[in-house]
Amino acid sequence: DREKIMMTGVLSLKAKKIRGVMTNLEDVFMLEANRIVDDELVLNVYGYGYSRIPVYEGQKNNIIGLVYARDFALPDTDSGKFTVRNIMNFCKHRYGTSITPDDSSYDVFNLFKKEQYHLGVVVEYDNTSEKDPRAKAIGIVTLEDIIEEMIQEE
């Protein structure tokens, strides 16, 4: 029955690594921080249809924040007066920043619940140095990806 399926799904999450549920960076729709927000960009955002859009600076593996599609519905956002960075700093959405591909999906599920966010950036650390400055994004994972995994199991 359904409850049994759910329980099995939850248990299998413990073994399932983020690597297997995430969306790879090359498939992620992102925006560059310094890009001017104009009509064309807003249409592009709505065209893709994603609710959450990572913002990168320079290289795509350097994700520095997040914008929501709905942020672009704010007055004047398509006037060409603002950059993506302006919108990002104004709206300030929280997200997971230090999820790694070897993390268990179950742990990330609990992290999302605790922190109340729906998206995390999956990073890999340059193992020649310690932590943060060299963290490079390799993908994203959303609550949807994890729940999908949970209910797919039989």
| Chain residues that interact with ligand ATP, rule: CB under 6 A | 23, 27-29, 50-53, 93-94, 116-119, 140, 142, 144-145
Shorter beta-carbon distance to ligand ATP: residue 48 or 134: 48
Shorter beta-carbon distance to ligand ATP: residue 116 or 129: 116
Shorter beta-carbon distance to ligand ATP: residue 47 or 133: 47
Smallest gap from Cβ 68 to ligand ATP, in A, equals: 7
Smallest gap from Cβ 47 to ligand ATP, in A, equals: 12
Instruction: Report the interhelical angle of 105-115 vs 143-152 (nearest 10°).
Output: 130
Shorter beta-carbon distance to ligand ATP: residue 103 or 145: 145
Smallest gap from Cβ 108 to ligand ATP, in A, equals: 12
Smallest gap from Cβ 125 to ligand ATP, in A, equals: 21
Please report where in the chains the tokens 């992290």 appear, as a residue.
Answer: 111
